[in-house]
Structure 1
Amino acid sequence: MTEFTPFASLAGGVMIGLSAVMLMLWEGRIAGISGIAGELLPPYRDGAFLSRFGFVIGLIAAPVAIATATGEAIPQTVSSNVPLMIAAGLLVGFGSVWGNGCTSGHGVCGLSRLSTRSLAATVVFMATAFVTVFLVRHVIGG
């Protein structure tokens, strides 16, 4: 079980919000992680490859930097069921393409713009997460 840490959660939320605002100001785009990561693959649409690459590297480097600074381990999801993890990753990728965005694009940026489409997408994301956690913890027994 993960402990609730209100100050760390607040700081993380503020940093996510600031990064979304900075990306909108400097690049004129929504901070949707699936879109940014997807546009690192060819064909390249514009000259923003380096900024997208830097954004994704920052996502990877940030937890490593925090772990190094605090001496605490990086929380991880570990599973020995590789086919299940591959299927889950493909389903998440398919869902973000099918839903025209991911949790960061809809949940962080879309809701702040009062987008009804993002509200609907976020409700579906959250409901799916609730059902999945319930099934895994109480029905399947993981």
Structure 2
Amino acid sequence: MDWSASLQGLVGGIFIGLSAVWLMATMGRIAGISGIVGNLVTRRPPGDSAWRATFVLGLISGPLLLMAFGGGLGNVEGRPGAVVGEPLGGVSLMLVAGLLVGLGTGLGSGCTSGHGVCGLARLSKRSMAATGVFLVSAIVTVFVVRHIWEIGV
């Protein structure tokens, strides 16, 4: 077992939890990425964009700082020297997947960070249902892509 990867995941999870608690404690806001980014782009509510931009900047700068100080992002593709692999289904499939994720966050009124991290911690029944739907959808998607379409097998 690769303990360093497990420890990195543990530390990352702790930071995600701490940032969610900090945002709720200091601003009374849920750390739902789709809502933060969506309202930053649409500028709703007015005058509420500074903290949203700072949050998004933190999301982007964290991995960049890690890479700058030699931490790397891990070998998520499985080839020596690779960081992020080619999309297994091609760019067109990635575009469709991105649009479906955007549609899903709109229909589900949030994403995994808002419902799965913050909502479950607050014991929200709505978030429990949404997270269950996310998980079932992910399981079905992986099954279809790997075993029916045989992409990446």
Rate the CA distance shift 1:73–1:101 in 2: closer, same or farther, 3 A.
Answer: closer
CA RMSD of aligned residues (A): 1.9
Structure 2 residue 89 is matched with structure 1 residue 78: no
Q: d(CA) in 2 for partners of 1:73 and 1:114?
A: 32
Could you list the runs of 5+ residues in structure 2 that have no partner in the other structure?
A: 75-82
The count of corresponding residues between Structure 1 and Structure 2 is 140
My pick for the range that moved more, 75-84 or 121-130, is 75-84
1:1-142 equivalence runs, <5 A: 5-73=5-73, 75-76=83-84, 78-79=86-87, 81-142=90-151
Shift of 1:58: 1.2
Amino acid in structure 1 at the alignment position of 2:47: G
Change (3 A) 1:77 1:132: farther
Q: Which amino acid aligns with 1:132?
A: T
State the distance in 2 between where 1:43 and 1:68 align: 32
Tell me the TM-score normalized by structure 1: 0.88
Identity %, equivalent residues: 51
Q: Give the Cα–Cα distance (whole angstroms) in 2 for the partners of residues 129 and 101 of structure 1.
A: 16
Contact 2:34 2:105 in 1 (8 A): yes
Whole-angstrom CA distance in 2 between matches of 1:92 and 1:110: 19
Query: CA separation in 2, counterparts of 1:73 and 1:110?
Result: 28
TM-score relative to the length of structure 2? 0.82
